[in-house]
Amino acid sequence: MQKQLISEKIEENEKVIQQAFYNCSDLKMRKLAIGENGRVKGFVCYIEVNAGNNMINVLGRMLTYLDGLSEEQISAAVKGNAFALSDAEPYEYMEDAIRGVLIGDSVLFVDGVARALKIPDQGYPKMGISKSEAEKVVRGSDESFTESEKANTALIRKRIRNTQLKVQEFQVGVRSFTNVAIVYVEGLANPNMIQEIHRRLNEYDIDGVMDSGVMEQLAEESWLSPFPQFQSTRRPDRAAMEVLNGKIVVLVDNSPVALLLPTDVNSFLKTTDDYYNRFHMATFARMIRYVAAFFALTLPGLYLAVTNFHTQILPTPLLLSFWQARQGVPFPAALEVLLMELSFELIREAGVRLPGTMGNTIGIVGGLIIGQAAVEANLVSPIVVIVVAFTALCSFAIPNEEFAFSFRILKFLLIALSAWLGFFGFLIGIFLVLVHLASLKSFDVPYLSPYVGAQLNGYQDEKDSVVRFPLRMLWKRPIYANPNERTKLKKKEK
């Protein structure tokens, strides 16, 4: 579709704007009389809430500058940006000018000038930089991403003050025109991955993009997998750290969640303060997270397999304790576990939806009350409450919520297989999960790296896995980085 050029006649431009914003009461058009004796007509248009002191000050300076000039001088001033506006952008097409208004800027039209001029403004209302609540750390920055894509890119550039940090912006959504930014360090990120993420993000036409989660779902290759192929973060320091490792960051306007690619299992179990603390603390914390991830997936199924089919592997005192605890319980063990798991998932979901401290209260109090009441009513045994509560606690220890949710879903598969086939069903379930993970890739990077293909990078990636080696020994970037820029740490020559 051919774009419409901006006319030299102010009346035609005004008519087009009025037609485009028909029934839009939040659009404001202010007519101006400028130049010598106010003979030159003009108008500035903007969305009402976006007009701030910046636009008023800039427009005042412009009118003062244009006062007393002839039509030819005004035309030359507008075309040549004689006002020295750093962020001024001339528009030649009406569609671009309209989009500029929708983005949040003000646009000036002048009679006799076949182009419009963007006046940089404050833009749409947005939240300020706040403390990161979703990804808490013991040590490190407390800053969190905001809902402004511009502010988020600035937070990354604040940490990487280098001209090689590139920010490529484009718009997605045939009706929303949402700004999307791809951030990477030139030379560190793999060029093939940059091209691939561009292809995937532009593969679909969609009405609107309200959050980065929409882009994540459209760009995922294995969309049936419960495991995320993008890593999400709200922390600018995490994004900056991964960019220096050769990853690519995708920022979406109106979303405080950034997407990191490529990713793997190990990345989901790491936190930023793993690198700020000494390697003893980081290694111990990672071991706990790996154990927690294993039990979050397997503990209910393992309990059913052992108590229903393979009681001979339990010590006699423990077996008698389990038998005594189940005295009077009317339901089979499998139904007992399912009821408690569904109850805890319901409490967790309710806690997320309820506002503020009420959500935290319902999660703790609700779990205690329901568990105790169920035991006293002989609906479930105390050991099942312990197993389910410990499983939920393990899932909370996984740093990434989306990754933890995958384990919450798959544990029901293991529960079903273990209740049906016992320990053989349990092993079949573990085997299926491992086979799926082995076949999964994130932008051609194996999901199980660095545990597979470690030899391709000289086994350096394994130094930053379950055991985090001392920082001075982590001298190579991961396998997904540009092969020509693998060295990230070396000792200075004297």
DSSP-H helix ranges across 90-146: 94-103
Q: Residue 332: name the closest of 394, 280, 380, 402 by CA.
A: 380
What does the pLDDT read at residue 364?
Answer: 63
Residues of the chain with pLDDT under 70: 1, 50-57, 68, 79-88, 121-128, 355-365, 368, 494
What does the pLDDT read at residue 24?
Answer: 81
Please, which contacts does 380-386 make with residues 24 or more away whose CB atoms are closer than 8 Å? 380/329, 380/331, 380/336, 380/339, 380/340, 381/322, 381/325, 381/326, 381/329, 381/336, 382/325, 383/303, 383/321, 383/322, 383/325, 383/326, 384/303, 384/333, 384/336, 384/337, 384/340, 385/340
Please tell me the distance from the alpha carbon of residue 430 to that of residue 230, in angstroms, as a whole number. 23
In degrees rounded to 5, what are phi and psi of residue 143?
-70, 145
What does the pLDDT read at residue 126?
Answer: 65
What does the pLDDT read at residue 51?
Answer: 64
In degrees rounded to 5, what are phi and psi of residue 27?
-85, 130
What does the pLDDT read at residue 162?
Answer: 85
Query: Reduced to 3 states, what is the DSSP secondary structure of residue 405?
Result: helix
Instruction: Give the tokens for residue 91.
Output: 């528009």
Tell me the whole-structure pTM to 2 decimals: 0.84
For 309, other C-beta atoms within 10 Å of its C-beta total 18
For 395, other C-beta atoms within 10 Å of its C-beta total 22
What does the pLDDT read at residue 215?
Answer: 92
What does the pLDDT read at residue 231?
Answer: 94
What does the pLDDT read at residue 112?
Answer: 84
